[in-house]
Amino acid sequence: MTIMTYPRIKRIFDFIFSFSCLLVFTPLFIVIGILIKLNDGGPVFFRQKRVGQFGKLFILYKFRTMKARAGSENGHFEPGDQSRITSAGKFLRSTKLDELPQVINVLKGEMSFVGPRPEVEEWIKAYPEKWLQVLTVKPGITDRASIEFRNEEKLLSESSNPKETYLKVILPRKLDLCIDYVNKNSFSEDIRIILLTFKTVLLT
């Protein structure tokens, strides 16, 4: 399968699978929404501007896991900050259920199931040349970086300077993995990442 035809096939798969997921998981969405509301009464969804393919901004959706704070929607991000995580949020994060609403982004064509995780503008500006390569493909719900840094929050919370650790240690490694993915951009690589994601979520 050539690199020219695979993105088209991938989009068809993304559309069909995301639509199916929304139908199947609607009852779960409702249950999670009720759980979040009962927990602290705040909004169900977390929305934030992220940078997508070719630098186009889009609104990423997640189930809210932290207490609401002004500025977060516009890209404010404090790596390693666990002080605002709600009790319901801890469960959603540990099971990765907070990521489920991103199937909406996939259905809209803003994201794919597999691809580099989308970042806020602050971190794009940190390594612009590398991001130029990464942003040639659609961002995804899962990738090799999200698997390797499954416990990223724990690593950052243990750092004396979480922001510097993310900027100088974690983000460069993520970008290297993303660039490697862009260079491969194949069906077999996507299947491998999906299988590794399920294994990681279920066994860790």
Neighbours of 94 (CB within 10 A): 12
CA distance 139 to 53: 7
CA distance 16 to 49: 25
Long-range contacts of 91-95 (CB under 8 A, 24+ apart): 92/32, 92/63, 92/65, 93/65, 93/153, 95/201
Q: Supply the pTM of this predicted model.
A: 0.89
Measured CA to CA, the distance from residue 72 to residue 66 in angstroms comes to: 10
pLDDT (tens digit, 0 to 9) for every residue of the chain, 204 residues total? 444 578 888 999 999 999 999 999 999 999 999 999 999 899 999 999 999 999 999 999 999 999 876 655 655 556 656 678 999 999 999 889 999 999 999 999 999 999 999 999 999 999 999 999 999 999 999 999 999 998 898 889 899 999 999 999 999 999 999 999 999 889 999 999 999 998 988 776
Count of CB atoms situated within 10 Å of the CB of 91: 15
pLDDT in tens, 31-86: 999 999 999 899 999 999 999 999 999 999 999 999 876 655 655 556 656 678 99
* Domain locations along the chain: 6-203
- Whether 72 contacts 85, CB under 8 Å: no
Rounded CA-CA distance 171/162 in Å is: 12
